Structure 1
Amino acid sequence: MKRLTPALVKGAPYTGRVPQRPPRVTQRDLAEETGLSTATVSYALRGMQVPPETQQRVREAAERLGYQADPIARALASGRTGYIGVLCRSLTDVWQQATAAALGRRLLGDGRHALIVDASNDPALEATLASQLADQRVDALIVLPVDPGAAHWSEVAERTVLISIGDGLSGGAAHAEVVFDNEAGITDALHVLVAAGHRRIAVMTPGGLTTPDRPAETVAGQVARRLGLHVTLHRSPHDLDGAAAVARGVLAGQDPPTAFLCMADSMAYGVYAGARESGLEVPDDISVVGYDDHPLSRLLTPPLSTYRWPVDLLVDLVVERTVKAITAGKRSRRRVLAPVAQPRGSVGAPGTARGSAAADAPAGEST
């Protein structure tokens, strides 16, 4: 049996020398310990081509000696690293935080590790991070895209398995897509606000001039024209202070809106704060609708009317399709998830002064 260098003892006196790390236990060490060939040890560790009792014998020796598989060697042998990139649009969005965490837990349960990164709602940064993750040889890249129409997705898909959440990617680049029925959700939200008497509606969106064709924002403009509404689009960050500042600016403008449709609940929290800082109350003066039903939304006063996406189903579908694409090289058909309305207390009739301004506004204007 090969003798291994013991680890440093806690509390040992300082010698002035840089501590030497104990040598890594190798498959050769396991072979000497078990009396097997290194090839047999390799097969046993992977559960291949050797009897179960041999596999057990090798695993017991590995545990006894503290053997850890070399991830680089394993990746070279299998062509897989065991790592999955999760590229989020913005982790200041509480819904994306929760979804990324759920994906990480679910992937870990499948023996894979998530590398979760944040594009900070910046299309250029998103392109850079996607390329870097592909360079790191992730087995797949799951993305909640800032710019689903960007040209770089096709190039990324040639280098790794690409899975999209929320929006489909341009050119059919993704190996699988689990997308949201934004047309149904936004159409329903605007109809709800129209039924309550609103004609001037501000849409808070993570998109901007660099991503003008995001599906959700496009749908909002189409529905506004169809219903003869005055809808304005306002780019907003997800963080509370940033979203509140945007809301205050919108409310201080000429002929301000009587209602807000927020493309994330985290933005709606900013509207609540901005409205109250402007001396307005929800829903007496301003109505607010969110769009993802984070649990915190039920704790607001009044609770936020919003739309729920089935996160558990979403995560299951994404991980199932990711594993299928990695292990079998198969593409999956697009799956569309429908929103479920969560009407609560944040929608009411327009306030008297604000309602009269809305009535005088020209119909169908959108910016």
Structure 2
Amino acid sequence: MPNRARRTLQDVADAAGLSLAATSYALRGARGSAATIERVQALALELGYRVDPIARALASGRTGTVGISGSLRDLWQQDLSVMLTRALRAADRDATIADADADPAVERRVVERFAEQRVDGVLVSPVDPSADYWSALPPSTAVVSIGDALPGRPGSGAVLFDNRHGVTTALRHLRDLGHRRVALLTTSLPTTPGRPAELHAVEAAKRLGLDLLVVPATAARAAAAAAGPLTAPDRPTAVLCLSDSLAFGVYRAAADLGLRIPGDLSVVGFDDHQLAALVAPGLTTAAWDEDAVVEAAVAQLLALEGGGEVPAPVTFRPELVVRSSTGPPAGAD
């Protein structure tokens, strides 16, 4: 067989002695005996055959590609994107990852680019779930949001986090330790009103009798954002961070200011990233079942790709993992 830069399906079919249709089915594991499928796939690997995504899209109307979007400065979302990519690979899907950078304007461009690329599906941890740009994804695109639902994109799947329970549990933990003035570090900005976790925290603080100071921050500038309230005369004695990445920034700010954790300042995170147990002191944080979250999100995506009914939302409730970063405020009995 002549040496070519790119092998074709015909080359594999000729080597296997099968028709093009039978070869295509065997490569996808769709039809044929187990021995035939194994033989054809081995021949394709030996010949260096790779599926042409453009040809596949023209033939089937699908690209086999799923877009993943999140704010990748956040360590937990980095890990989630990797886990989603692996789960998609096991389902014979390719992933393209885009960083929304905790910015609605960037997220808008990501969504528009996914639409232009005609990806088959999108798995997204949204920056602004209530934004109008989610409607740019056509109805034929399977969309599953992780964390918050997309009210502006009917027909989307949703794997939700019970943030009301998470922030209430965290704030009650701080209240029971004796804290009364608490700072809330959140990635929500005035331009992202659709993030309910911050709203739940404000409501919970009011019910619990806490004085809550809301501080917008990003993972990259969490230390600088925390420094302001921590140097105020009436500084908070505790900080609740709506991601562990933000909490690690508070650790840095506290070290720079000579504040001891938890002696001078209690810190609570939200994610239970693998580093939470490794920093000193260990970070008290809300933990999610990441494997179950990924499994549910990919299952919903595949169901939507198959043209079935929109799956019912799946909600995960976090568990507060208490470590050494929280304690009574200085001077408490």
TM-score (norm 1): 0.83
Tell me which residue corresponds to 1:337. 316
* Pairs within 5 Å for 1:104-143: 104-143=85-124
Greater shift, 112-121 or 250-259, is seen at 250-259
Correspondence for 1:217 among 193, 198, 204: 198
Which amino acid counterpart does residue 110 of structure 1 have in structure 2? A
Correspondence for 1:91 among 72, 87, 96: 72
Q: 1:197 to 1:150 in 2, by over 3 A?
A: same
How far does residue 171 in structure 1 lie from its aligned partner after superposition? 4.0
What CA distance in whole angstroms lies between the structure 2 residues aligned with 1:55 and 1:342?
47
What CA distance in whole angstroms lies between the structure 2 residues aligned with 1:344 and 1:58?
54
Correspondence for 2:186 among 202, 205, 212: 205
Q: 1:124 to 1:41 in 2, by over 3 A?
A: same
Correspondence for 1:176 among 147, 157, 164: 157
Q: Contact between 2:226 and 2:250, CA under 8 Å: does it hold in 1?
A: yes
Unaligned runs of 5+ in 1: 6-21, 356-367
How far does residue 149 in structure 1 lie from its aligned partner after superposition? 0.9
What CA distance in whole angstroms lies between the structure 1 residues aligned with 2:208 and 2:39?
72
SS of the residue 2:166 aligns to: helix
Unaligned runs of 5+ in 2: none
Deviations 1:291-331 (A, max 9, x none): 11112111222211111000010011111111111123431
Q: Contact between 2:115 and 2:138, CA under 8 Å: does it hold in 1?
A: no
Tell me which residue corresponds to 1:281. 260
Tell me which residue corresponds to 1:226. 207
TM-score (norm 2): 0.91
How far does residue 32 in structure 1 lie from its aligned partner after superposition? 4.9
Q: Contact between 2:69 and 2:100, CA under 8 Å: does it hold in 1?
A: yes
How far does residue 270 in structure 1 lie from its aligned partner after superposition? 1.1
Calculate the aligned-residue CA RMSD, in Å.
2.2
Q: Contact between 2:23 and 2:40, CA under 8 Å: does it hold in 1?
A: yes
Residues matched between the structures, number? 332
What CA distance in whole angstroms lies between the structure 2 residues aligned with 1:57 and 1:175?
39
How far does residue 237 in structure 1 lie from its aligned partner after superposition? 1.2
How far does residue 225 in structure 1 lie from its aligned partner after superposition? 2.1
* Pairs within 5 Å for 1:41-56: 41-46=23-28
Tell me which residue corresponds to 1:15. none
Deviations 1:215-240 (A, max 9, x none): 1011111112222321111111113x
What CA distance in whole angstroms lies between the structure 2 residues aligned with 1:300 and 1:57?
50
Which amino acid counterpart does residue 2 of structure 2 have in structure 1? L
How far does residue 131 in structure 1 lie from its aligned partner after superposition? 1.5
Q: Contact between 1:157 and 1:174, CA under 8 Å: does it hold in 2?
A: no
Rg larger in structure: 1
What CA distance in whole angstroms lies between the structure 2 residues aligned with 1:339 and 1:182?
8
What CA distance in whole angstroms lies between the structure 1 residues aligned with 2:43 and 2:37?
10
Greater shift, 144-153 or 322-331, is seen at 322-331
